[in-house]
Chains A and B, each alone.
Chain A
Amino acid sequence: MTGNAAIAEAAIRAGCQCYFGYPITPQTELAEYMAANLSRRPGCTFIQAESEIAAVNMVLGASVTGARAMTSSSSPGMSLKQEAISYMAASQLPAVIVNMSRGGPGLGSIAAAQSDYFQSTRGGGHGDYRTIVLAPSSVQELADETHNAFELADKYSIPVILLGDGMLGQMMEPVEFKHEAPEVPPVRQGGLRGAAGRPSRFIRSFTSNPDELEELNWSLYRRYQQIHEKETRCEKFMTDDAQLIVIAFGIAARIARGAITNARALGMNVGMFRPVTLWPFPKNQLKELSKTAKYFLNFEMNMGQMIDDVKLSLEGNGDVTFYGRPGGVIPTSSEVLRVITRLYYQKGLNS
């Protein structure tokens, strides 16, 4: 199954009632899968919207009612979605937004890239807010994290970004789905469906009172802290005795894993640290590693974006080198192995 199809199927199984999309390479198969499969399910809706902006605002509307709703896109389309993501963050509306990212800036390329790290992890739109950002690195994880994304979105009333890339979206791997689709899609308590049996309610993001808005920002901040404490996840691969630790996320981590396995076979003590949640970033877990390893190689498919979080987490500990390939160029595992080997010898770790 392709990554894009796996996300769509996992979303249906997570009780996604409404999907609103717009064609853009390399995520279009996700919309196509939903058109074929979600639209025929009782009570469910698929709409090919007139724009990315309309699609994400339909998600906003569906989320208002308590339905599970999703949209997906790729980098240029994600820029258009930021307005509504900011509104949903302010209005505390859950949503799942998939970005199968591609090379940028501008129209960029249609090949896989990781250049949307900043946009994804810094809020992306206007205002002081965060979204949860999940970064799977296999088709199986795309499916698993799609399910998690819906759960987290509802749990914290927050938009969740599933950040993949063109390669993850297009590649085919076996996938096992851990949940069956519910017969009736779940409806979140507290949605707006008319004021039957209760006073009317409104959801808004605007207030003319700065004190009220300050309080909203504080309450969002407290929730973000709670998410940081409870939902931060990472993967450590052969880090226990590693002298050099590669830090990578998503598909780059997949590439790095092969390089590290080969480096180990060549006798180099190399490991990998992979953030699964890009926001909240696993800063404490990374800092902890600097007690046992001194050298870090930050590998990304961009010109260096996650490296800001890496350095903030390490707080000056450790020696960080960056290696990146932007623009949609997919580095090979042997290329990363060459970089690891060179660094390993340059730093005298072979002695």
Chain B
Amino acid sequence: MEKIFTRPESLKNAVFHYCPGCGHSIVHRLICEIIDELNIQDKTIGVPPPGCSVFAYYYFDVDMIECPHGRGGAVATGIKRAAPDSVVFTYQGDGDLSAIGTAETIHAAARGENITAVFINNAVYGMTGGQMAPTTMQGMKTTTSPYGRDPEYEGHPIKMSEIIGQIEGACYVERVAVNTPANIRKAKRALKKAFMNQLEGKGYSLVEILSPCPTNWKMSPVESWKWVDEVMSKKFPLGIIKDTTGKTHAD
């Protein structure tokens, strides 16, 4: 019998520690499928952050360096400049990429570093237990915005992809989601393109992924998938934000 679905070679045979319904494991798998398809397992270096995905190296069967919180853009720059033949991707959460690491992210893009940034936006700080993130929606309750995020008091969510889209050095910015099978397929196309851009030396690519966090959203997985469609993607619209590569989707 022909095997039509299997674990990607670059995904280790390990049980994910992520909560039921979490988007991380889906994104891990997508990236590993792409690494296999592009045949780059032996030259890829991943840069995971502190946060829920701090143990990403237990799952990705590629070289990885766990870096200081928010500094992925700078660490990846150092790696890529020192070893230009490697394929370097950062894996960053919303707190990492759009709060503590805002400067490193913006300037890696501005320099047009030839790297791929994977940005997991789940609107909360996950690992520390659901605190307000820069991407937390207005009205959303978190442990540090217990009365609901009030723009008058806690300010507004930040749209990092739109900011990066303004930067000349960024060649490709797209926002996708992993809440439905159709969206997961689109997410994979975007991620693949972001890796191919690097292989073709086109510069900085960013893929923002709206990713459910049922545990900290206090929802069931099914409710959280709906919430991505009905609430989150209204504030963070899906689609291509910038593309100067002159190509359509990878496949």
How distant is B111 from chain A, measured CB to nearest CB, in Å?
7
B52 at the A/B interface (Cβ < 8 Å)? no
Could you give 26 example pairs across A and B, Cβ below 8 Å? A45-B82, A49-B74, A50-B103, A53-B74, A54-B104, A57-B67, A57-B74, A57-B104, A58-B77, A60-B65, A60-B67, A60-B75, A61-B67, A62-B81, A64-B65, A69-B78, A84-B68, A84-B71, A91-B65, A91-B66, A192-B45, A192-B65, A196-B43, A197-B42, A200-B41, A202-B63
Contact at B65–A57, with CB atoms within 8 Å? no
Contact at B107–A50, with CB atoms within 8 Å? yes
How distant is A184 from chain B, measured CB to nearest CB, in Å?
13
B174 at the A/B interface (Cβ < 8 Å)? no
Contact partners of A63 in chain B: CB under 8 A: 78
Contact at B103–A58, with CB atoms within 8 Å? no
Contact partners of B41 in chain A: CB under 8 A: 194-195, 200
A272 at the A/B interface (Cβ < 8 Å)? no
A203 at the A/B interface (Cβ < 8 Å)? yes
Contact partners of A62 in chain B: CB under 8 A: 78-79, 81-82
A59 at the A/B interface (Cβ < 8 Å)? yes
Residue of A20, A57, A59 with most chain B CB atoms under a 10 A cut-off: A57
Q: Which of B54-62, B118-126, B143-151, B202-210 contacts A (4 or more CB under 8 A)?
A: B54-62
Contact at A60–B61, with CB atoms within 8 Å? no
Q: Given A47-B111, A57-B68, A84-B71 in contact, is the A193-B77 Cβ separation under 8 Å?
A: no
Bound Cα distance from A69 to B41, whole angstroms: 26
A313 at the A/B interface (Cβ < 8 Å)? no
B44 at the A/B interface (Cβ < 8 Å)? yes
Closest to B78 in A: A61
Residue of B79, B80, B86 with most chain A CB atoms under a 10 A cut-off: B79
Contact at A64–B78, with CB atoms within 8 Å? yes
Closest to A198 in B: B42
Q: A residues near B, CB below 8 A? A: 17-18, 20, 45, 47, 49-51, 53-55, 57-67, 69, 83-84, 87, 91, 191-197, 200-206
How distant is B118 from chain A, measured CB to nearest CB, in Å?
17
Residue of B60, B66, B81 with most chain A CB atoms under a 10 A cut-off: B81
Checking A20, A57, A66, A197 against B71 with a beta-carbon cut-off of 8 angstroms, the contacting residue is A57
Bound Cα distance from A66 to B61, whole angstroms: 20
B8 at the A/B interface (Cβ < 8 Å)? no
How distant is A54 from chain B, measured CB to nearest CB, in Å?
4
Closest to B64 in A: A202
Contact partners of B71 in chain A: CB under 8 A: 53-54, 57, 60, 84
Q: Given A47-B111, A57-B71, A84-B68 in contact, is the A195-B42 Cβ separation under 8 Å?
A: yes
Closest to B88 in A: A61
Q: Given A67-B83, A206-B54 in contact, is the A83-B42 Cβ separation under 8 Å?
A: no
Q: Quick one: which of B73-130 are within 8 Å of A by CB?
A: 73-83, 85-87, 103-104, 106-107, 111
